[in-house]
Chains A and B, each alone.
Chain A
Amino acid sequence: MEPKASESSGELPGERRPEVDSSGNVLPSDGDLVAQVLAGNRDAYDVLIRRYQRQAVAVSYRLLGNSHDAMEVTQDAFLKSYSSLATLQKPEAFGGWLMRIVSNLSLNYRRGRRSRAQLPLDDFLGTGGGANAEAAGGASDFSAQGGDPLRRLQSEEMGRKLQEALASLPEKQRQAIILFTMEEMPQKEVAVALNCSVEAVKWHVFQGRKKLREMLKDVM
Chain B
Amino acid sequence: MSVFDQKKEDAMTDNQLEFSISQYLDGTLGDDQRSSLERRLNEDADAMAMLETYRRLDVLIKSDAGLPDIAWDSFARTISAAVDAADAAHEESVAQRFRMPGWVKTVMLPTALAASVLVATGVGWHAVQMRWESGKGPVAAGKPAPPASASFASVSVFGSESEPTHGPREVQVAIGPSADAKDQPILVHYSGDVVSRASRVAVASGVAPVHDTDALSFDMQ
Contact = CB atoms under 8 A, between A and B. Distances in A.
A14 B57 contact: no
A3 B56 CA distance: 15
A79 B83 contact: yes
A130 B74 CA distance: 14
A53 B23 contact: no
Contacts, number: 154
Nearest to A128: B68
A129 B82 contact: no
Interface in B78-94: 78-80, 82-84, 86-87, 90
Nearest to B69: A126
Nearest to B70: A142
Given A209-B22, A212-B57, A127 B66 contact: no
Contacts of A57: 68, 70, 75
- For chain A, the bracket of interface size reads 35 or more
A1 B51 CA distance: 10
Nearest to A145: B69
Contact of A4 (B25, B38, B60, B68): B25
Given A1-B41, A53-B79, A220-B53, A162 B71 contact: no
A159 B65 contact: yes
B79 A49 contact: yes
Contacts of A210: 18, 22
A70 to B, nearest CB: 8
Interface stretch (B26-34, B107-115, B132-140): B26-34
- For chain B, the bracket of interface size reads 35 or more
Nearest to A57: B70
Given A156-B65, A206-B19, A144 B79 contact: no
Interface of B: 18-19, 22-28, 34, 38, 41, 51, 53-54, 56-58, 60-72, 74-76, 78-80, 82-84, 86-87, 90
22 contacts: A4-B26, A45-B80, A46-B76, A49-B79, A57-B75, A70-B68, A74-B79, A78-B79, A82-B86, A124-B68, A126-B67, A129-B69, A130-B68, A141-B71, A142-B72, A143-B68, A144-B69, A155-B66, A181-B62, A202-B28, A213-B57, A217-B53
